[in-house]
Amino acid sequence: MNNKSSPEGFILLAFSDHPRLEKTLFVVILTSYFMTLVGNTLIILLSILDSKLHTPMYFFISNLSFLDLCFTTSCVPQLLSNLWGPEKTISFHGCAIQLFVFMALGTSECILLAVMAFDRYVAICRPLHYALIMHPHLSQRLATAAWVTGLLQSVVQTPPTLHLTFCSHRRVDDFLCEVPALLHLSCEDTTYNEIQMAVASVLIVVVPLTLILVFYGAIVHTVLKINSAEGRKKAFGTCSSHLLVVSFFYSSVITVYLQPKNAYAQDRGKFFGLFYAVGTPTLNPLIYTLRNKEVKGAFRRLLDKIKQPRES
């Protein structure tokens, strides 16, 4: 996908208009990235090694953790390099790869979070049929559907974006190659691309979020019918972690992709984009470990297994 208007690639401005902030952001993002790698890898290992976590819910959580690992790795190393030194360029092919991977993974996460809401809906609203409905084959198909949808969305939207004619200054007002920033850089009419992005935003952001709200509306209706206060607390407890993850992720995504086009919104969008690209993959494992007794129990059992050979 060569573009004659940008043979040398692009300049990612990132946060260069806030030079005093760059070094602080470097430390914060590096720390967050390390926490993301450790936290999400730990959740994946626990989900694989502990038989008590071999359930649909933790299968989806481990998929989310793997997705977050890939999601943040697709942009953070480049961002750290740009923040640390004066060199802020990215090759055209590097930009194309980053755009394709980031879009595919972001779309997959939107779909996966809706799938996880469906899992919680079945667990609480159809508990007697949960094992029958959420059998391993269906869980695998739903997870696969999320990944494939992300791939297809990226295949559809990446080529038209990269085939635009870009302005000669090649300055992308963002910290990564993302569709809104590249459209803003283009010197030709981007009406078709903007319509395509709007339709895609509805299909991959609004529709899954609507489904999540519908599922949780049914969950709340069911939980309120439970007579026991302890039962209601336990039911809400199984959903609270997922609700927090959904709130953090979708609030930042909506701010980036469904905002009006102006200079203030673009500057604000960079910080919200940074939050969903770096912040949410860091927070997700913390939310699922600190608020989840089963994960904490699995972690203690893993530590006990590690200690046993040393003690013997």
According to the model, what pLDDT value does residue 6 have? Answer: 45
Overall pTM surpassing 0.85 (yes/no): yes
**Is 232 a residue whose pLDDT tops 90?**
no
More confident residue, 81 or 33: 33
> Would the pLDDT of 217 be above 90?
yes
Q: Select, from the ranges 12-21, 273-282, 292-301, the one with the highest average predicted confidence (pLDDT).
A: 273-282
- Lowest mean pLDDT across 18-27, 40-49, 203-212, 257-266: 257-266
186-195 residue pLDDT tens: 888 888 888 9
- Alpha carbon distance 245, 238 (integer Å): 13
54-90 residue pLDDT tens = 899 999 999 999 999 999 999 899 888 888 877 788 8
pLDDT at 177 over 70: yes
pLDDT at 2 over 60: no
The number of angstroms, rounded, from the C-alpha of 288 to the middle of its chain's C-alpha atoms is: 15
Which pLDDT value is given to residue 259? 64
DSSP class of 167: P
Domains in the chain and their CATH numbers?
10-311 (1.20.1070.10)
Range list of H helices, the chain: 19-49, 56-73, 76-84, 92-125, 130-133, 136-162, 179-185, 191-201, 207-223, 229-257, 263-274, 280-290, 293-311
The residues facing 261 across adjacent strands are: none
Tokens for 150, please give them. 């992300």
Average pLDDT over the chain, rounded to an integer? 85
Radius of gyration of the chain (CA): 21
Q: Where are the alpha helices (DSSP H) in 50-91?
A: 56-73, 76-84
Please write the tens of the pLDDT for every residue from 239-283: 888 888 898 888 888 877 766 555 545 566 677 788 888 888 998
Average pLDDT over residues 29-41: 93
Q: Binning pLDDT at 50, 70 and 90, where does residue 296 land? A: confident
DSSP class of residue 165 equals P
Return the closest-CA partner of residue 192 out of 170, 160, 162, 165.
160
- As a whole number, mean pLDDT of residues 229-236 equals 77
Distance of alpha carbon 164 from alpha carbon 67, whole angstroms: 29
The confidence score (pLDDT) of residue 298 equals 79
- Does 217 or 181 have the greater pLDDT score? 217
Q: Which of 128-137, 141-150, 151-160, 254-263 has the lowest mean pLDDT?
A: 254-263
**For position 110, what pLDDT does the model report?**
93
Q: What's the average model confidence in pLDDT over 116-133? A: 92
